[in-house]
Structure 1
Amino acid sequence: MPELSVRPLNPDDAPAYRALRLAAIAELPAAFCTTHALESSVSMAQMRQRLQPTRFQIIFGIFDDTQLIAMAGLRRETIAVVHDKASLWGVYVAPQARGHGLGRQLVQAAVEHAGTIAELATVRLAVAHDNAAALTLYLSCGFVLDGAAPQAAMLQMQLALPRPAVSAATAPQNSVFLKIKT
């Protein structure tokens, strides 16, 4: 397989994204938080809106010529008390493209993007406990199992984002951050 590159999807990619997403849900329904029927009812306008990169969400894809063969989304939390977390979701590689490291490329692209967002500290994901290939991929990319109890048949995983060390000379003086519960 020739070298393929990861890029953020955009609204023009909606037809290709919709086709791959529906194929993914049909193949692995337990791995997605929706049903084929519900996703089929999403309008093309809604798909285009979903693919518009924002401060809080971006979806990456890999194309083989004009066919989208792999995808992964990264969604940041908007709620202030968890604004330091993002979720990796919808990771899928088409069957004919598996075994070439595309899943790893997608995960790395999402983690690298997350690392550019100063307030993010953690990327989380959920993976079906019986999806050995995905679990192996995530573990090899540095994700660890969360100590929380599994939710249904899903394992929770997380990755602490690397941050550059701050020297005492450049650290802000007397800076205090408080989280206040109201």
Structure 2
Amino acid sequence: MTYTIRQTRREDWERLRELRLAALQDPIAPMAFYEPYEEAVRLTRGEWERRASGRESATFIGEAESGSWGGMVGAFVKHRVVHVVGVYMLPEHRGTGLARELMRAAIEWAGGHEVRLRVHENNKRAARFYESLGFRPTGGSDADPRDPALRAFELSLKTG
């Protein structure tokens, strides 16, 4: 399948909301996202427009030839490090190479800065995928806020 990879714009807010809410309802969501569906569904139009506008961050989407969105990757800068968040592919778009294309867009957007992300200890498939892109463990981790006995491990990609 062929995708057009691009950043979302303010006018994409409704489609971004739809994709994010689908992500948060996916059975993998507890391992991949800390934002609860119940909180995201209550966000205002203005908040969704801000998320889509890319002023403080970037969200990359993969648009199929049909015009449907297959997935997304978010990124933001904090202390000269680009943090990748919100990586999600709709089930019918998994295994198509879309995730790799979206991650490449986020890494390119980083402009040579270090790129970091977190992966849940139970999400082995995602960990293997990120490692295939060159990400390596930093040694850092956080407790899963829903189950403090579980961890999310930080991975880093040095670019530039």
Determine if the TM-score, normalized by the shorter chain, exceeds 0.5.
Answer: yes
Task: Tell me which residue corresponds to 1:146.
Answer: 138
Task: Tell me which residue corresponds to 1:6.
Answer: 5
CA RMSD in angstroms comes to 1.4
8 Å CA contact 2:8–2:61 kept in 1: the answer is: yes
> Structure 1, residues 143-169: CA drift from partner, whole Å, max 9, x if none?
00111245332111011112xxxxxxx
Which of 65, 68, 85 is residue 89 of structure 1 equivalent to? 85
Relative distance call for 1:161 and 1:40 in structure 2 (3 A) is same
Is the radius of gyration larger for structure 1 or structure 2? 1
Between structures 1 and 2, the one with greater strand share: 2
Q: What TM-score, normalized by structure 1, do the two folds share?
A: 0.78
Relative distance call for 1:50 and 1:150 in structure 2 (3 A) is closer
How much does 1:44 deviate? Answer: 2.0
Q: Distance in 2 between matches of 1:10 and 1:29?
A: 27
- Residues paired across the two proteins, number: 151
Task: Tell me which residue corresponds to 2:31.
Answer: 30
* Partner AA of 2:98 in structure 1: L
Q: Distance in 2 between matches of 1:11 and 1:141?
A: 30
Larger relative contact order (Cα-Cα within 8 Å, sequence gap ≥ 6): 2
Gaps of 5+ in 2: 145-150
SS of equivalent residue, structure 1 residue 20: helix
After superposition, residues 92-107 of structure 1 pair within 5 angstroms as 92-107=88-103
> Structure 1, residues 45-88: CA drift from partner, whole Å, max 9, x if none?
2101111122x4111001122322100111001xxxxx221100
After superposition, residues 129-144 of structure 1 pair within 5 angstroms as 129-144=121-136
Gaps of 5+ in 1: 78-82, 163-182
* Partner AA of 1:110 in structure 2: A
8 Å CA contact 1:17–1:68 kept in 2: the answer is: no
Between the aligned residues of both structures, percent identity stands at 29
Q: Distance in 1 between matches of 2:16 and 2:103?
A: 17
Which consecutive segments of 4 or more residues in structure 1 shift more than 3 A? Answer: 149-152
Task: Tell me which residue corresponds to 1:157.
Answer: 155
Q: Distance in 2 between matches of 1:133 and 1:14?
A: 29
Q: What TM-score, normalized by structure 2, do the two folds share?
A: 0.88
